[in-house]
Amino acid sequence: MLKTAPLPARVFGELQRILPRPQAVLSAREDLLVYGYDGTWYEGLPQVVAIPESAEQVAEIVLLANRERLAVTPRAMGSSLSGGPVPLRGGIVIDTKRMNRILEIDETNFVAVVQPGVINADLQKAVESRGLFYPPDPSSMRQSAIGGNVAENAGGSRCLKYGVTADYVMGLQVVLPTGEIIRTGGKMVKNVTGYNLRALFTGAEGTLGVVTEATLRLLKKPPFSMTAMAVFASIVDAAQCVTEVMSAGLTPCAIEMMDDVTMSCVEEMFHLGLPVEREAILLFAVDGNYRTIVDGEMEALSELARKAGALEVRV
């Protein structure tokens, strides 16, 4: 049974002063339990949950925590597989879910400015409606928020070609453990003077500060894409195929492997017609600005897969 130390009444009262909106300060056990987990086996119960709506409120909460010697655990949507948002030392969980606005999409400079509670998939949808593209696509993108993506330096299947979150963070607004609000980086790509603090905060799991705003680099959305599935009798052959593809200088936007156990689980749930009797499949995705180039790369991938032992390639 999860336990935590009681919260002093003065701290609860001060949090209510900072966050006057209803249901912005949670202390009931049934509420706290929701914040005791992420996607891992780690467990920890906070003493209180604070749900701010601005960087200034976050700063006040952090200052209060300093005075009261309470731990602070920033949390976005809690879909992490690393234990990052779990309050192992009790204290205050700062839930950023109400800081969920897309503040700006700059189509001219290929930049988006967002708050940490924006869901990754919502950002993807918003920028794609303008012909733009935010590449980081963690498998939890429909649940995970940008603040958590920055804290965990999240990637996804497209990271093979496009990289991870750190490759798209141009600037951050951060509340430091001292309660100070700072900005690092900005909209300019050639913003290279001084320390690269945005790289320090990205992937730090909230241990260095609470991210309250992110300026993110966007790309032009590739108009053409293709996917393929290569079927292998041996997982070793499938792994060798990946080596052959990379050695050939090809850069698909994604390569994913599924073994027979995984295929069976997926097939049982979705009935996709996967070759569950085989040992492995590789899933390829290719994208680009020109149809002929995309077609050519997919043809080359298919040929390499067959040479590596693929029994079948479905495009």
Q: What is the DSSP string of 91-104?
A: SEEEE-TT---EEE
Q: What is the DSSP-derived secondary structure letter of residue 5? A: P
pLDDT at 146: 98
**Phi/psi of residue 106, nearest 5 degrees:** -95, 100
pLDDT at 220: 97
pLDDT at 188: 79
With cut-offs at 50, 70 and 90, classify the pLDDT of residue 187.
Answer: confident
Could you tell me the end-to-end alpha-carbon distance of the chain, in angstroms, rounded to an integer? 51
pLDDT at 1: 66
| Exposure on the CB side of residue 35, measured as CA atoms within 13 A | 33
pLDDT at 5: 83
Query: How far apart are the C-alpha atoms of 108 and 256, rounded to whole Å?
Result: 34
**For the chain, percent of residues with pLDDT exceeding 70:** 99
Query: How far apart are the C-alpha atoms of 270 and 265, rounded to whole Å?
Result: 9
- H-helix or E-strand containing 313? strand 312-314
pLDDT in tens, 206-222: 999 999 999 999 999 99
Domains of the chain: 9-95 (3.30.43.10), 102-220 (3.30.465.10), 224-314 (3.30.70.3450)
pLDDT at 2: 79
Residue 72 bridge partners (DSSP): 92
**Phi/psi of residue 255, nearest 5 degrees:** -135, 125
With cut-offs at 50, 70 and 90, classify the pLDDT of residue 3.
Answer: confident
CB atoms within 10 A of CB 277: 10
Contact 117, 211 (CB under 8 A): no
Report CA Rg, the chain. 23
pLDDT at 169: 97
> Lowest-pLDDT range, 183-192, 222-231, 267-276?
183-192
pLDDT in tens, 83-130: 889 999 999 999 999 999 999 999 999 999 999 999 999 999 999 999
Query: Both tokens of residue 230?
Result: 């290569």
This prediction has a pTM of 0.92
pLDDT at 302: 96
C-alpha 23: how far from chain center: 26
Dihedral sign (CA 72, 73, 74, 76): negative
**Averaged pLDDT for residues 188-197:** 79
Contact 147, 116 (CB under 8 A): yes
pLDDT in tens, 57-91: 999 999 999 999 999 999 999 998 888 899 999 99
Distance (Å) of CA 53 to CA 23, 60, 283: 12, 12, 41
pLDDT at 144: 95
Contact 213, 118 (CB under 8 A): no
With cut-offs at 50, 70 and 90, classify the pLDDT of residue 200.
Answer: very high
C-alpha 122: how far from chain center: 12
With cut-offs at 50, 70 and 90, classify the pLDDT of residue 192.
Answer: low
Q: Whose CA is closest to 161, among 284, 290, 291?
A: 284
